[in-house]
Amino acid sequence: MKEKIYTIPVTDAFAVDCECPLCVMEKKLEEESVDYALGPALMEPDKRQETNDLGFCTRHYEAMYNKQVNRLGLALMIDTFLQEKIGAMKKLYEGKLSALEKDASASLVKNLSNRLSSKQTDSEKLVAELVAQLDYIEDNCAICRKLEHTMDRYIDVIFYLYFKEPEFRAKFHGKKGFCLRHMKQLLSASKKYLNANETAIFTRNLMEMQLANLERIEKEVDWFTKKFDYRFNDAPWGNSKDAVIRSIQKIRGNSDLK
């Protein structure tokens, strides 16, 4: 199989002995994205504008902080992010302050009438808009967005190689399947990238591989639990010593279990 620059991350991941090649790709991409956010991105105006708008999720704030390589850069991103979000909330709040005061001083009869009416009060509208701003902050992350976009491109490459390169297809079938999150991503993406015939072939082969490997790891976890029974003290562990860690990865994907 002739390598191209866009196939290398995929073929490299599928060469690793693991429970999910997509987790391998995602972890490497995530580490590179964290390093980039703390390094070159700090000096790029368009990237700073993006991080000011999107911020980061808890996981990626933790990853950047725990790197301990550029606390100043992280602090600068947090500072400008907070400035932007505080400004937006303050503008919204101050624009509706008089309406809040009006609703706050309304009579009991008026308040009861508002409760019975389907029409939102100005105070309720403000609350809804503030919640929408907070939802945006909670639901967005510059690194997560980059991961989502790039992983979608990787899946496109996987489908291409699967149907164009017999060597890759054989390697695909020789893997231990995927975590449930990436299994879902593959199935969802098939609608975007495959025709009906390809979808049927891929789904059948994927499901046979997934079910066989889910049953395999369930048996390994089951044997792990049995090893705590005195009757099996002298029985060999087989592949079950790390079955709990691998089963969690199989269910949820990448994790930092020790």
Name the pLDDT band for 4 (thresholds 50, 70, 90): confident
Stretch 19-45: mean pLDDT: 96
| CB contact at 8 A, 159 and 202 | yes
Q: What is the pLDDT of residues 47-85, one digit of tens each?
A: 999 999 999 999 999 999 999 999 999 999 999 999 999
Indicate the pTM of the whole model: 0.85
CA-nearest of 55, 63, 220, 204 to 140 is 55
Distance of CA 71 to the CA centre of its chain: 24
Residue 81 pLDDT: 98
Whether 110 has a pLDDT exceeding 60, the answer reads no
Best CA proximity match to 252, nearest among 217, 201, 205, 228:
217
